[in-house]
Every structure is written in C-alpha cells, then in structure tokens.
Amino acid sequence: MTIPLTTCLAFDTATEHLSIALQVGERVWSHEAAGGALASSTLIPGVMDLLAQAGIALRELDAIAYGRGPGAFTGLRTACSVAQGLAFGVGKPVLPIDTLLTVAQDARGLCAGTPIVDVWVAMDARMDEIYAAHALFEAGSWRLATAPMLCTPQALNARWRIAPPRVVAGSALAAFGDRLETGTALCLPQALPRARAMLPLARALWAQGGAVEAAQALPLYLRDKVALTTSERTAERAAAKALAESTAAEVPT
C-alpha cells in the first residue's frame, strides 16, 4: 500500500505566470508572480521562501512536483532543471504533472459550486497556435480523453463543431477571442496552471505509483526547437547558477 503524499512542493513555469505551492499536512502555502524570462531567477528564491514560511527543509519533502508542459520552451527547461537539481540534492522523487491538466483542475476550483467534469483546455501557444487537450473528471481524478496537442484555431474549431465543448478553460480564450467557436460552453479564460491546483494531481499521481527519479524529470514538448536564443541561454545560465547556490546552502542542513 502506497504511503499517502503529505508533504509536497509543486511549481509551474510553463507560461508567463510563475506559480509555486507547498503542502505540509493540511496546510498550503503558495506564491504567484510574473514568470516568463523572470522565472529562471525568481523560482528558487520563491521555493526557499515558502519552505522558510512552513519551517521545513527540502529533505523533509515526500516529493517535488513540476509542470512538465506543454508550454514555453525556456519555462519548461527551467522547471525541469530546478526539479532535477532540488530532487537530486536531497534524494527525493519527482512527480511530472501535465500543465493542461493543471489548468483543468484550476477551472474546477474556480467553479466550486458547479460540477466541472468535462473540460477542453486551450492555452495560447503563440505563433497563432494553441496547446489543447480534452480532460474528463471521473471517479475522483482526471484523465485525458484527448492527449495534449499543438493545433491551429481552425483545427480546434473543426473538432468542436463535431462535438461541442461543455467547458473551455485557458489563456487561448483571451488570446484568440471570437476566433474560437466555443458555442454555449462555459468559458474560463482566467484558469491558469496554478501550483495549488497541481497538489491534488500530485497526490493522485503518487497514489498511482507515478513518482520517478530525478533524472526522469523531463519536459513535454509539442513544438520542435533546435536552438536556444541568446536570452534563453542567459536565462538558463542564471537558473543553473541559482540552483547550484541554493542546493549547496540547503543540502548540508
């Protein structure tokens, strides 16, 4: 029998929104801030601040959950590298959480009085494209009826004409406006991959035996990327430096 997940750190940097949450027993601490290029320099200080607020050390965590994507290339690399570094440093497993499922769970939380069980997640992927997935909430947990995909608004509309969505959540609603044919669906553009919403997903994945070793903290890419830009290389170096400094300070305690 799997021991319940009671102490978990979760973070997502897949979008322009940085989100971190820490659960210790029944208590949850969270931090929300601007992400994007800032995430590489602010993620680790944010994590350490939440640990300090809770009065625990990294080594006391059961696991570290991270948003594996899809999402921005640099953001996903930041989340994966930080998850790997922190988990390696204290010998803890990681929980790779689908970012689109996190948005679905956030939508469910935003509508606590409404039974949200059937959600199309649509996130702005830039370049006139959308990250989309169809999620169903069944028997107390989410499953993907349609796996995460990268598509055009036209392709998504074609799917929805055949099977109209009941709920649509995510940043693509604001980015594409009336170009998306949502029909009578409940639209939740404010739904985000918030780390608080990751926590129940992390518990479910843990119970299913989905925890993996730190080396397997890999991203989910839906768009090919062959080279880093100058700003991305700078951001990655900053993330690596901050990670090395924070891990060196934390591990011996």
Torsion of CA 167, 168, 174, 175, to 10 degrees: -160
**pLDDT tens profile 4-45:** 999 999 999 999 999 999 999 999 999 999 887 788 889 999
100-188 carries CATH number 3.30.420.40: yes
Considering the chain, tell me which residue range(s) the CATH 3.30.420.40 domain(s) occupy. 7-98+194-250, 100-188
7-98+194-250 carries CATH number 3.40.50.150: no
**pLDDT tens profile 43-71:** 999 999 999 999 999 999 999 999 999 99
Buried b (16+ CB within 10 A) or exposed e, 56-67: eebeebbbbbbb
Q: How much is the pLDDT for 93?
A: 98
Which residues touch 19 (CB under 8 Å, ≥6 apart)? 11, 12, 30, 31, 32, 35, 192, 193, 194, 195, 196
Q: How much is the pLDDT for 238?
A: 53
From the list 207, 222, 246, 205, the residue with the least C-alpha distance to 41 is: 246
Global pTM? 0.88
- Side-by-side strand order, sheet with 130-138: 141-151, 130-138, 118-124, 167-169, 186-188
**pLDDT tens profile 221-240:** 998 654 444 454 455 445 54
